[in-house]
Amino acid sequence: KAGVTQTPRYLIKTRGQQVTLSCSPISGHRSVSWYQQTPGQGLQFLFEYFSETQRNKGNFPGRFSGRQFSNSRSEMNVSTLELGDSALYLCASSSGRGRTNEKLFFGSGTQLSVL
């Protein structure tokens, strides 16, 4: 069974641009959640999607958005990039049964650098 797949692996953007990251969950998993990881703030929850609906949301500005497709694949978008958005963005999938953040399976992440 394939794991969680994130693309691209690395990304370099400049301030003001926007970026879209992609995540394919484990087959059969209906929940996809996104996290931001930085040396200063550690790992922080962004949002979670289940059956194409945002079910839970962390404390990030509206520039961070996401969506989920009918095949459970998810995309995350960051608009008007700022230098502080440089981070490792991780996607995790779970069956969706139970609470949002239990039994998570993480991808390897997308390393975003904003110049």
Partner 1 sequence: GESVGLHLPTLSVQEGDNSIINCAYSNSASDYFIWYKQESGKGPQFIIDIRSNMDKRQGQRVTVLLNKTVKHLSLQIAATQPGDSAVYFCAEIEGDDKIIFGKGTRLHILP
> What separation, in Å, do the N-terminal and C-terminal C-alpha atoms of the chain show?
37
CA distance 45 to 56: 9
- Nearer to partner 1 (CB atom), residue 78 or residue 90: 90
Task: Judge whether 111 and 8 are in contact, CB under 8 Å.
Answer: no
Position 42 contacts partner 1 (CB under 8 A): yes
Closest CA relative to residue 74, chosen from 18, 27, 17, 21: 21
Q: Of 20, 22, 65, 100, which one interacts with partner 1 (CB under 8 A)?
A: 100
Under the binding rule (CB under 8 A), the answer on residue 88 touching partner 1 is: yes
Closer to partner 1 at the Cβ: 6 or 72? 6
Name which of residues 56 to 75 contact partner 1 (CB under 8 A).
Answer: 56
22 part of the interface to partner 1, by CB under 8 A:
no
Among 25, 92, 96, 114, contact with partner 1 (rule: CB under 8 A): 92
In angstroms, the CA 84 to CA 74 distance is 23
Counting Cβ atoms within 10 Å, is residue 14 exposed (0-12), middle (13-18) or buried (19+)?
A: exposed
Contact residues toward partner 1 (CB under 8 A) are 4, 37-40, 42-45, 56, 86-88, 90, 92, 99-109, 111
